[in-house]
C-alpha cells in the first residue's frame, strides 16, 4: 500500500532546556496501512506522545524499540492513553520500517518520512536513537530511552502547572495578503525574536525587539519569496516558544 505522509507543521523546540511549555503546531503522520495520527487530536484527548526517532542500521535502536514497547504496553493501552510513534530517519522503505519495528518486538506504528524529511531535521536529529515525550498540555522533553518512563509519569504534574494560570507567548496568525503580517500574544517581559524559514529549514530573515504584554502585530519583508510553504519561529529570551506555518501562493 502506498504510504502517504501529510505534514501540516513542524514542531520546533529548544533542546537545551530541561522542559518547556510550547504552543505545539499540528502535524499528521500516516502509516503503511493508511492509518492517520494527528498530534493535536491525540493531545486534546489527553494522550501522551512518545516519539522514537530511529534508523534501520542502528544497533541500539533495536533495544530501544523493545524498551518503548514496554512503555507502550504499560501506559498506552494500545493508544487509549499514550502513543509511541516510531519515525525512521534514513528515508527507508515503509515496509522495511514496519518490519523492523515488529521484528524487534514493537506493536506501535512506524513511519517513513521519505516524502518530507523536514520533521526530523527540525528536531535536529543528528544521531539515532533519540526520544521525546510530549505531555497532553504541550510540555516536551528530550530524553534517553531509560528516562521515558519518568517523564511519562510526570505528565500529570506538568499538566497541573499549565492549568494553574500560566500563559505562554505565541504566534496567533499570519497574513500574507499585502505584507507578511505576524499577529502574536506576549505574556513575557523578555525580548521576542522572530525568524523566517523556508520549508527546508533555511533562515531567510529575522527581527527582535521588546514588546509590552498583550496582543501585537509586526511585519516582515516577503519580497523575493517564491510560492511555497514557510515557517515563522518565535523565541523568548533565546528559547523557542511558538512556530506557525504559512503559504505564499
Which run of H or E residues covers position 216? strand 214-220
With b meaning 16 or more CB within 10 Å and e meaning fewer, what string describes 103-142? ebebebbbbbbeeebbbbebbebeebbbbbbbbbbbbbbb
Say how far apart CA 6 and CA 92 lie, in whole Å. Answer: 17
Range in 1-15, 41-55, 59-73, 137-151 the model is least confident about:
1-15
What pLDDT, on a 0 to 100 scale, did the predictor assign at position 108?
A: 93
Mean of pLDDT values over 171-183: 89
Grid coordinates representing 245 are 506555518
What does the alpha-carbon distance between residue 229 and residue 199 come to, in Å, rounded to a whole number?
Answer: 6
Are 27 and 115 in the same domain?
yes
Mean pLDDT across 86-113: 89
Check whether residue 177 and residue 150 sit in a common domain.
no
d(CA 147, CA 170): 29
Q: Please provide the average confidence, as pLDDT, over all residues in the chain.
A: 79
pLDDT, tens digit, for every residue of 11-45? 333 333 334 444 456 678 888 888 999 888 888 88
Q: Same structural domain for residues 234 and 113?
A: no
Distance, in Å, from the CA atom of 58 to the CA atom of 136, rounded to the nearest integer, reads: 30
Q: Is the pLDDT at 156 greater than 70, yes or no?
A: yes
Has this prediction a pTM greater than 0.85?
no
Would residue 191 be called left, alpha or beta, if left means φ above 0 and alpha means ψ between -120 and 50 degrees? beta
Residues 154 and 97 in one domain: yes
pLDDT of 68 strictly over 90: yes
Range of the domain at 233: 170-248
Segment among 12-16, 70-74, 193-197 with least mean pLDDT? 12-16
CATH number of the domain where residue 209 is located: 2.60.40.3080
Amino acid at each position: 500500500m502506498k504510504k502517504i505522509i501529510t505534514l501540516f507543521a513542524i514542531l520546533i523546540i529548544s533542546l537545551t532546556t530541561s522542559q518547556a511549555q510550547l504552543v505545539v503546531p499540528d502535524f499528521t503522520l500516516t502509516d503503511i496501512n493508511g492509518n492517520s495520527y494527528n498530534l493535536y487530536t491525540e493531545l486534546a484527548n489527553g494522550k501522551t506522545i512518545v516519539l522514537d526517532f530511529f534508523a534501520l542500521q542502528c544497533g541500539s535502536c533495536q533495544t530501544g524499540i523493545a524498551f518503548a514497547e514496554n512503555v507502550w504496553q504499560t501506559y498506552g493501552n494500545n493508544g487509549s492513553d499514550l502513543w509511541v510513534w516510531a519515525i525512521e530517519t534514513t528515508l527507508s522503505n515503509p515496509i522495511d520500517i514496519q518490519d523492523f519495528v515488529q521484528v524487534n518486538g514493537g506493536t506501535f506504528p512506524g513511519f517513513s518520512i521519505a516524502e518530507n524529511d523536514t520533521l526530523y531535521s527540525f528536531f535536529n536529529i543528528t544521531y539515532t536513537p533519540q526520544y521525546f515525550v510530549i505531555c497532553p498540555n504541550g510540555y516536551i522533553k528530550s530524553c534517553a530511552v531509560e528516562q521515558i518512563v519518568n517523564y511519562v509519569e510526570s505528565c500529570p504534574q506538568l499538566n497541573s502547572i499549565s492549568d494553574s494560570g500560566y500563559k505562554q507567548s505565541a504566534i496567533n496568525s499570519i497574513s500574507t495578503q499585502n505584507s507578511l503580517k505576524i499577529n502574536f500574544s506576549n505574556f513575557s517581559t523578555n525580548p521576542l525574536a522572530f525568524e523566517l524559514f523556508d520549508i527546508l529549514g533555511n533562515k531567510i530573515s529575522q527581527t527582535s525587539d521588546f514588546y509590552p504584554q498583550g496582543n501585537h502585530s509586526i511585519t516582515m519583508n516577503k519580497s523575493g519569496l517564491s510560492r511555497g510553504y514557510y515557517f515563522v519561529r518565535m523565541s523568548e529570551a533565546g528559547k523557542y516558544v511558538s512556530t506557525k506555518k504559512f503559504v505564499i501562493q
